[in-house]
Amino acid sequence: MILSKIPRKPDVCFNKIPLPIPLLGDDIFPPGCYSIFNQPGGLSLSLFLETKERLMRSQLGFLAALVLLLALPITVLFQILVGAGADTVVHVLLATGSLLLAASVFDFRKMTKWITWLGCLAAAAEGTIFLLQGVSHLISSSAFTHFVYQGLGQWPERLFMDLIIFWLVALWFTDSQGRTRLLGLITLVSVVGLEVYSYYLLAVDSSVNTAAPALKLLYLLPFVWLLLESKKRIGPVRSLNLSIQQKETV
C-alpha cells in the first residue's frame, strides 16, 4: 500500500464509497473522486479526495436552532420596545427557523434518504404554517385567520411537529456522538414524554395550553442539543493518492 501525492486527475466521482484506510479510520469517506488504471505488475486504484474545510458540521442547522431558541426572547423584547406586533414577529421567527431546519437536514448524511426528506418536508410545512399565521395578523380577514389557526394550526401543525421530533430522534440514533449524545438523549426523552402527555390531555378533552402552558418550553430543549450538534467542527480532508497493487506470484 502506497500513500503519496495524487499523480493525475480523477476519472470518476462517487457520492460515497465504503473504502477503509487504516491511516484515516474505517469510516465511510465523504464525496470524492477516484482514478482506476492498470500498471505493470497489477491493478492500481487511486483515491482522489478534495473537500473544503467546514467550520461547522451544519451552519444551517446551527442558524435554525439559534433562531428558534431566540424567537421568544426577541419577541418579548420587541413587545417591550414597540408595544404591538408581537404575534407577527414570533411567527415569522418560528417560520424562519423551521425553513432553515428544512434546508439543514441534508448536512447530516448518515441517515437514510427517506428520513432526511421526511424531516425536510415536515420542517418546511411547519414553517409555512407559521408564516401564514404571522401574515394573518397583518391582514383583516377573519376567514383566513380561522383557516390558519383552527384549520392548519390544529392537527396539521401537530403532525408536522411530531415528524420533526421523529427526525431529531433518528438523528440522535444515527449521527450523534461524543458529549452531546447524552444531552440529546435527555432533551429528546423530555419532549417525547411531553408529546405523550399532550395526547393524554387531548383524550380527556384538555390540552397543554390550559393544563400546563409552561411545559411548552420543553419543545425548545432538542434545539439546544441541535445547536451544539451542528456546531461541531469537521476537519479538512486533504487530497490523497492511495495505490493498491497486486504483486505477481511465482
pLDDT digits (tens, 9 = 90+) for 150-177: 999 889 999 999 999 999 999 999 988 8
Global pTM value: 0.72
Q: What is the pLDDT of residue 205?
A: 86
Cell of 133: 399565521
The 3-state DSSP class for residue 67 equals helix
Write down how long the chain is: 250
CA-CA distance, 248 to 104, in Å (whole number)? Answer: 49
CA-CA distance, 23 to 243, in Å (whole number)? Answer: 14
Cell of 4: 503519496
Nearest of 96, 84, 80, 81 to residue 138 by alpha carbon: 84
Torsion sign, CA atoms 146, 152, 157, 159: positive
Indicate if the pLDDT at residue 46 is higher than 60. Answer: no
Q: What is the pLDDT of residue 145?
A: 92
CA-CA distance, 48 to 8, in Å (whole number)? Answer: 9
CA-CA distance, 119 to 155, in Å (whole number)? Answer: 17
Q: Using alpha carbons only, what angle is made at residue 32 by residues 226 and 225, rounded to the nearest 5 degrees?
A: 5
195-220 residues labelled b (16+ CB within 10 A) or e (exposed): beebeeeeeeeeebeeeeeeeeebbe
Question: At 55, is the pLDDT very low, low, confident or very high (cuts 50, 70, 90)?
Answer: low
Nearest of 63, 83, 61 to residue 71 by alpha carbon: 63
Cell of 240: 490523497
